[in-house]
Structure 1
């Protein structure tokens, strides 16, 4: 049996904790009086510190301790939460990530700088040093009074898999010893015989008698990041007055074997009484953490299975063996179900992508001095994880561009009759086999005259070139194009939008820009839901076979020889009182063969734009496993990839976006000529 590397597991869990801490800080920045958010951030910092120390990340634990102590003061009402404190801990959170990823790096100077900023923020809020020792907590409005000594009797047992998950029980006992005089008794009654012993399982429970002046909350803090899954009961006795016993079990008391262990002091009846479990002690495995590489490998295997199934189907259809056909149908059904299941496994909600921009907007607002609000819509829309990963950088460029170029300062917005707070809206919606992501700002809009002037001065277009509004707006995606008056940390070098266009095209997606002067701009990205396997329509043009993504197909029509001859020179068909341009793929691919007597027109669309593709034969639907084109064919814009057919031959996958754009350009050219 192989076990996961504990350090790798810790880094994964630390990444999740850091995301939770960041989300809590960003929420707290909008509502500084929310005590639940303060507690959530404190718990995250406490867990990260404890786990870091447990796994040998001492620099991380020491650095995080300062942030934890600062929030402990906020939690206890000693200092208020302020924007400066939130910003300081957010910046420190980035340093924590570095300490997790590269614990042996040279981070000392930067850590000291960040701690100085943190301490200054705490002092400005009216507190002491962030790392100063914290005395017994005093609630707001109460007077501090000397604390009396108390004896706490703790009975606790961790989950059997606690050590395998990275929890060191000895560390918990050490933390209890730091609180006062501590006597620890191990309960070994549940240890199985040697032949049944699993070395990674934890079978020992503990009885702890603690005499201290520290409050009960300090004991709870020791178990704060294992509380949900453990068994714990606590009894309390005031040693400075008459004995008073109070039982406050967090969860189900420990098994009777612990109560039967030798004890130095009698256990009260209340301590032995059964207590209703308020948490699910054995939750079961709701989630399984799987490396992304394994999912990718599994998807490759499913793709090969789909290709093999296609070959089997062709053999079965040409055979008279009924049994072979039945097996082929079963394999086709099972491979289809497996494919659909695999696709679901790869799908993740786009909120994982949108969530990153809360921090970006926060930082951009501080950097530019603008007031910016982020609104997200359609966070539950699911997209292939590969698409999510490759969309992150393009969206960062677009959001930064909207904040820098689009949104005005508060003074300019007020003068224009707008709210002083600029708004950036990130929205996602699914339509067929595509997901459309829009980035909308309510800023000044795109100055078309500046775009044209910059394009002409850069030699991108010649003076007096006739361009449609969309073609003019698309110039902002040209390499080296920028309308910024000066280079800043945010923009001005003319590389960001070029990267966006290339990245989106690499995803077989399209970009559309709409801008209204004074009202803002909207950039829409239409991206396929998945990059691995798609449903396609297999067609024949001449002697070659091609695949059209089925999600883009609207309908299929027949084009007779007479209609083909009548349309020569204009390439339009009438479709329900509207003219749709079409492209003869035979001419485009230079097949050199005669057309079939009854050609077909496949009408495809992207958004509101449509174009027809004239083919010789529609073969049928086809499960298409997408294979990337070689580097020698990267400049062939008509095709987005290739696939292997059941007979072993290769079919090229048509790039729908490119063909629709070519058809629309052809239509505009003909209308201008007419």
Structure 2
């Protein structure tokens, strides 16, 4: 049975809350007395518990209730949030996450999960017993003289009530999403006592127009409770985005009540109804006032306005009545004032939209080509205008899939904490550029490569405290995650301030494994690139985390699969940085079209440096070009892909840059820029070197998308074609001498 949308929303929201809880728990270790962070942890647990109760998920409710009791004692100062308690609650969060995952998979907890939950419950109850906790019962306060919200305020500036006032307007989709509005009211009774409730039905349409799946209800509630505002607000977290919820504490300021009156969404309300709904009057008090007004009229006494009568009877503060009169005298449009500019959209719908935009671009290019072929001026202009609009649609559609990398970066706070404890090292994670945006698909596929890089940096990069002290470094090591936009790409760096890599050791290992000739002359980059060879490792000891020579080659393959590049730079004794370059999106890019014989190829426009025409003398050279005194390796696409036919009289070189290196692609024609809709290769062609996908041109022909970083790597390591790094260095020296 498929999980319904409401339950799926609960699963998504719960995971987000657990992520926030984990971030707060990692922070609370450094600031154990931060009340705001403690409240954030409590709210997350409380919201998950309340939402789970709506769906009858008793396992989550029972377990979270015990955790909530501990957090409540922490908030009251009975328990201090030390490192041990943070460890416990990280395990609690993991267990709740496991329970949520089981719900997502429509599975029941197995014996292992049940035993883990029981063990954690026992540890939580032990914490409560140590703090002298007793079962908390809902006890209502006896009319406090004032609350913290009104401390120091003159009595005339407050409404004289000991009750909370809750104003609810549920969103129209509340019931359609699987929520019962009354379930939230019932949940309030677990926190206190509902003293008075007014149900608002003005927005309910006539029976002939009523949609049974839409919610038109609202409530004005007078509520007495010992709970704080955060706890009461937490009861409505699951519908907060689509509903209007306003909560006023006991003895709130007059200005807060007048603001509430002004914000009531109903278009026209009578004065008495307004005062009832803002909690300043009960229905009985209003009826008594109306009876007195009626008697006065019958007896011939001047009839006072209702507002003045209520003021004289000291039932309502004058300022509140004035605000109600102002509200009554005008008409306001009945619109929801909630945060309606945000919309949660299924990612598959966005993917479908991107596909449609891609097909539209292909169709538009075909129409423009036909218009130019037949030299129809008006049609050419029209298709050009359509192309410009399609570019805007493309950019807007792609922006919908762009997400910040912060979510991926922040999850490594927990990784660094746990791994540093396992290794017995003091390591801190610093994050910068977390607001950098890139395609959601790219972000999702980055998690595993980054995890390996971070763990590797901690295990082999950061030294022990003793070695760091001997080297004059701070005892605490640092791992840094940094992201930024650069030339149409996203650059992500994972760096550490550890001992760095030994070039001599890497080179020696490379020679031992036969990866490098004993007499080869390699640049620093070529030496560090050996680290990404399968099975390569310089670790002296194998640990649970790394050192078996498995992982860095997988990281590189993962990055290359995203049409990205990866390189490493290191300074011995100072630290190591791994730099990853990725395209902003994998769907639609600006490309540059090349022609070789009857074949067409596309390279990302952001990687094109320049285009030059080759002379006959230059065309005779097979493997390199003198480009303003620098050696430019050449890749002849005709030879690389065995394209039939003779090259044209004129050949062109497209200089492209990837992974910090430049190469020249020798082609017959330069066919200009175009919007490229990237389509993945089938399984049969996935292992073709130097090709990252294909696109369909306006004339229906297929053009291959060249994987520039992969081509650059081939050039750097293909000795049989004369591309030995030492050979290039010799060519470079010869050029310098010639000049």
> If the length of structure 1 is used for normalisation, what is the TM-score?
0.86
Contact 1:33 1:81 in 2 (8 A): yes
Aligned to 1:311: 366
Shift of 1:517: 1.4
Match of 1:329 among 380, 384, 395: 384
Distance 1:547 1:489, change over 3 A: same
Q: Distance in 2 between matches of 1:627 and 1:480?
A: 32
Q: Distance in 1 between matches of 2:713 and 2:219?
A: 71
Alignment of 1:168-567 (within 5 A): 168-178=180-190, 182=194, 185-190=197-202, 191-206=204-219, 214=226, 220=232, 223=235, 225=237, 229-232=244-247, 252-253=260-261, 257=273, 266=285, 268-270=315-317, 273=321, 274=323, 282-452=337-507, 454-455=509-510, 467-565=522-620
Q: Distance in 2 between matches of 1:136 and 1:495?
A: 62
Q: Distance in 2 between matches of 1:130 and 1:501?
A: 56
Is 2:725 the counterpart of 1:668?
yes
Shift of 1:54: 0.9
3-state SS, counterpart of residue 672 of structure 2: strand
Aligned to 2:27: 27
Larger helix fraction of residues: 2
Distance 1:601 1:154, change over 3 A: closer
Q: Distance in 2 between matches of 1:468 and 1:351?
A: 35
Distance 1:178 1:363, change over 3 A: same
Contact 2:166 2:223 in 1 (8 A): no
Aligned to 1:152: 163
Distance 1:177 1:513, change over 3 A: closer
Distance 1:121 1:415, change over 3 A: farther
Distance 1:467 1:223, change over 3 A: same
Shift of 1:539: 1.3
Moved more, 248-257 or 113-122: 248-257
Shift of 1:282: 0.8
Contact 2:625 2:633 in 1 (8 A): yes
Q: Distance in 2 between matches of 1:297 and 1:215?
A: 47
3-state SS, counterpart of residue 579 of structure 2: strand
Contact 1:54 1:171 in 2 (8 A): yes
Q: Distance in 1 between matches of 2:258 and 2:6?
A: 28
Shift of 1:606: 2.1
**Residue deviations 1:538-584 (CA, integer Å, cap 9, x gap):** 1112332211221111111111213323xx26622232x43323233
Shift of 1:388: 0.7
Which structure's CA Rg is the greater one?
2
Aligned to 1:147: none
3-state SS, counterpart of residue 252 of structure 1: helix
How large is the Cα RMSD of the aligned pairs? 3.5
Q: Distance in 2 between matches of 1:638 and 1:247?
A: 68
**Residue deviations 1:638-660 (CA, integer Å, cap 9, x gap):** 22222111221111122211232
Shift of 1:195: 2.5
Match of 1:610 among 639, 643, 662: 662
Distance 1:634 1:669, change over 3 A: farther
Is 2:624 the counterpart of 1:571?
yes
Q: Distance in 1 between matches of 2:436 and 2:491?
A: 10
Aligned to 1:97: 97
Moved more, 216-225 or 336-345: 216-225
Aligned to 1:145: none
Q: Distance in 1 between matches of 2:15 and 2:58?
A: 17
Q: Distance in 1 between matches of 2:230 and 2:439?
A: 44
Q: Distance in 2 between matches of 1:250 and 1:87?
A: 46
Distance 1:638 1:247, change over 3 A: closer
Shift of 1:258: 7.0
**Residue deviations 1:211-246 (CA, integer Å, cap 9, x gap):** 77x466698467563788324456679xxxxxxx99
**Residue deviations 1:254-288 (CA, integer Å, cap 9, x gap):** 665475699575373149644899xx971341211
Distance 1:596 1:26, change over 3 A: same
Contact 2:521 2:726 in 1 (8 A): no
Q: Distance in 2 between matches of 1:122 and 1:417?
A: 45
Moved more, 171-180 or 30-39: 171-180
Moved more, 74-83 or 456-465: 456-465
Match of 2:687 among 618, 621, 635: 635
**Residue deviations 1:178-213 (CA, integer Å, cap 9, x gap):** 45665554435524432233434444444656677x
Contact 2:229 2:249 in 1 (8 A): no
Q: Distance in 1 between matches of 2:134 and 2:470?
A: 43
Number of aligned residues: 648
Distance 1:207 1:302, change over 3 A: closer
Q: Distance in 1 between matches of 2:230 and 2:15?
A: 26
Contact 2:462 2:497 in 1 (8 A): yes
Distance 1:312 1:68, change over 3 A: same
Distance 1:195 1:407, change over 3 A: same
Q: Distance in 1 between matches of 2:60 and 2:517?
A: 57
Alignment of 1:80-95 (within 5 A): 80-95=80-95
Shift of 1:108: 1.3
Q: Distance in 1 between matches of 2:561 and 2:39?
A: 44
Distance 1:265 1:521, change over 3 A: same
Q: Distance in 1 between matches of 2:438 and 2:707?
A: 20
Contact 2:46 2:234 in 1 (8 A): no
3-state SS, counterpart of residue 230 of structure 1: strand
Contact 2:623 2:634 in 1 (8 A): no
Q: Distance in 1 between matches of 2:214 and 2:580?
A: 50
Q: Which runs of 5+ in 1 are unaligned?
A: 141-149, 238-244
Aligned to 1:585: 637
Q: Distance in 1 between matches of 2:29 and 2:236?
A: 24
Aligned to 2:79: 79
Moved more, 9-18 or 548-557: 9-18
Q: Distance in 1 between matches of 2:707 and 2:390?
A: 26
Q: Distance in 1 between matches of 2:515 and 2:631?
A: 32
3-state SS, counterpart of residue 79 of structure 1: coil
